[in-house]
Amino acid sequence: MIKITLKDGSNMEVEQGTTILEVAKKISEGLARMATCGKVNGEVQDLRYKLEKDCELTIETFESSLEGKKAYWHTSSHILAQAVKRLFPNTKFAIGPAIDEGFYYDFDVEKPFSEEDKTKIEEEMKKIIKENIEIEKFVLPKEEAIKLMEGQIYKQELIRELPENEEISFYKQGDFTDLCAGPHLENTGKIKTIKILSSSGAYWRGSEKNKMLQRIYAISFPKASQLEEYLAKLEDAKNRDHRKIGKELELFMTHELVGSGLPMYLPNGATVRRLLERYIQDKEIALGYKHVYTPSMANVQLYKTSGHWDHYKEDMFPVMKMENEEIVLRPMNCPHHMLIYKNKMHSYRDLPIRIGELAHDFRYEASGSVCGLERVREMCQNDAHLFVRPDQIKEEFRKVVNLILSVYKDFGFKDYTFRLSLRDKENKEKYFDNDEMWEKAESQLREILKELNLNFYEAEGEAAFYGPKLDVQIKTAIGHDITISTCQLDFLLPERFELEYIGEDGKPHRPVVIHRAILGTLDRFISFLIEETKGAFPLWLSPIQVRILPIADKFVDYAKTVVEKLESKGIRVELDDRNEKIGYKIREAQLQKIPYMLIVGEKEQETNSVSVRSREQGDIGAVEVEKFIQEIEEKLNNK
């Protein structure tokens, strides 16, 4: 007998060789029906896995964890592949993994899948589920595995890369067998509802040097209601897509003659960006930041000195050779700020020195990964570098965290978490090689976060190459987890640039650098705001705050006097004097998310008033012009 320790800490004894599924049945039939995989001593295993010695066992379900969902979706990907094999027998199969939301499978077919093809595939998937086909696992030695996959060039390529003495696992369901490590459910009938979502081209192994395959994305759930909820979420995400809204509200545009990942801000979007720039700069200036401008390019030697060239050059644009210099577009501006600090000698009394910049940086993003404003090749970073004495680290870090919290409060952000991003000790090549420095930086940062009473979690492998950082992970309106603000502790760059200050003892000392970005990149921040608000920006940030709508041409002159009064108070106002019906003008203003519409006619002209219609409240009624201006100013002052 062997002893199994379950998730709740309880123990049970079972015979050696008992499978995870059999353990689930011993606990309850209900758990066995819902089980999708198990975790044995922390490692995900198939339900068929035999327990041979004492261990800790967690039985996962679709609802309990991402691993549980992925086992469900991995089985679903094989159902997709089996359906394609039945309908397109000459297909060559590549890979079909579960992902964080659903699954996909890559196929080598004669022509891209049409909408009609996808409908047929989905119907065939449903048939396979109804057939309730048993899923069997078996293993083969390498040569037999290659022979079994005869004609399947992608599978054979994967097999040949495996070690010679490795037993290679396969899963068979009826007329379909696939190379796979698992885990999988016991039969196809375990999948209850399934839906194809989209298809696209995808290079084999992600390299444009390889053949373009056809990828089908799909999703499955244990309940039909879950699929309905998911499709509703997708529809909401589609309606919130910042690229769609950005076009409708004339915020930004892209053009192939300019290039991928290089959006252009239109007047409305430029207004939003300008307001954000002023907002964050005013906050920083009030906290003692000094803003600078530095070039968007530099000599390659600058990045060799900083270490970026060794650790980051694959993400940089190619070098431009100019006379006796090699120039490159900068991926970040911290090296420039190091030189600004070094421009003159500093006393311990001068520190902390806070250097801020709205800096234009450039990243060599693949054309397939760029996306509207969210992922671009040129970005504007709300960046700053704080040069501090060691005894000032905690206080300055606290001030940065408080600034982050203040900004999030201003924008109403509530669903966010703090992540302590550490290096991956098993992959030190990604990071600057100095164990002592890393241990010091990570332990100090962890201590600071605890003293600040921040509820944080740790993530290995997410640090910058030069030091650990605090990332603020925020949930978007459509459920994505993204990083907005970061704050990094850096002992490396001061060393590489030989930065110094004269201490109270009259001797030179090294400062410590705190890198921080509050809004992150303005481009991504704006894309996030668009999707959060569906383009209905708060009043202070709306490109046009008020639109005046005269009901007839004879009231245009009065409308212009109202415009002048609003403009004199700094309110962004627009006059719609087109010869259109008032209902049409109102509907268009609503679609353009204008916060206030002021309708003027004979009655309003006679009483020096406006008929107010609010984006949120609808019709408010007649209000004197001066009173309306006063109310707007109060709202703007209390943003």
| 524 flagged as catalytic | no
Catalytic member of 74, 86, 273, 363: 363
Decide if 193 contacts 223 (C-beta within 8 A): yes
| 435 flagged as catalytic | no
Closest CA to 317 of 375, 274, 389, 378: 378
DSSP letter at 419?
E
Catalytic member of 515, 547, 585, 613: 515
The maximal CA–CA distance of the chain, rounded, in angstroms, is: 95
Beta partners for residue 264, in sequence order? 253
DSSP letter at 507?
S
Closest CA to 265 of 247, 281, 278, 280: 247
Give all strands (DSSP E) within 154-223, no chain letters: 168-173, 176-179, 193-203, 212-221
DSSP letter at 471?
E
Helix or strand or coil: residue 144?
helix
Closest CA to 220 of 84, 351, 105, 62: 62
CA atoms within 13 A on the CB side of 33: 5
Catalytic member of 46, 106, 241, 383: 383
| 337 flagged as catalytic | no
| 334 flagged as catalytic | yes
Q: Sheet harboring 353-362: ordered strands across?
A: 290-291, 353-362, 378-388, 512-521, 481-490, 469-475, 416-422, 456-460
Q: How far is 422 from 469, CA to CA, in rounded Å?
A: 7
Q: How far is 79 from 88, CA to CA, in rounded Å?
A: 14
Q: Is the dihedral of CA 478, 481, 482, 487 positive or negative?
A: positive
Catalytic member of 381, 444, 488, 545: 381
Decide if 246 contacts 495 (C-beta within 8 A): no
Catalytic member of 39, 385, 399, 585: 385
Q: How far is 385 from 400, CA to CA, in rounded Å?
A: 11
Q: How far is 447 from 244, CA to CA, in rounded Å?
A: 44
| 55 flagged as catalytic | no
Decide if 168 contacts 162 (C-beta within 8 A): yes
Helix or strand or coil: residue 216?
strand
Q: How far is 351 from 332, CA to CA, in rounded Å?
A: 23
Catalytic member of 419, 469, 585, 593: 469
Residues 6 or more apart whose Cβ sits within 8 Å of residue 157: none
| 173 flagged as catalytic | no
| 308 flagged as catalytic | no
Rounded to 5 degrees, φ, ψ at 343 are: -60, -25
Rounded to 5 degrees, φ, ψ at 614 are: -100, 145
Structure tokens at 615: 């984006």
Q: How far is 219 from 132, CA to CA, in rounded Å?
A: 18
Catalytic member of 334, 380, 523, 605: 334
Question: CA-based angle 19:25:29, to the nearest 5?
Answer: 150
Q: Which residues are catalytic?
A: 334, 363, 381, 383, 385, 469, 515
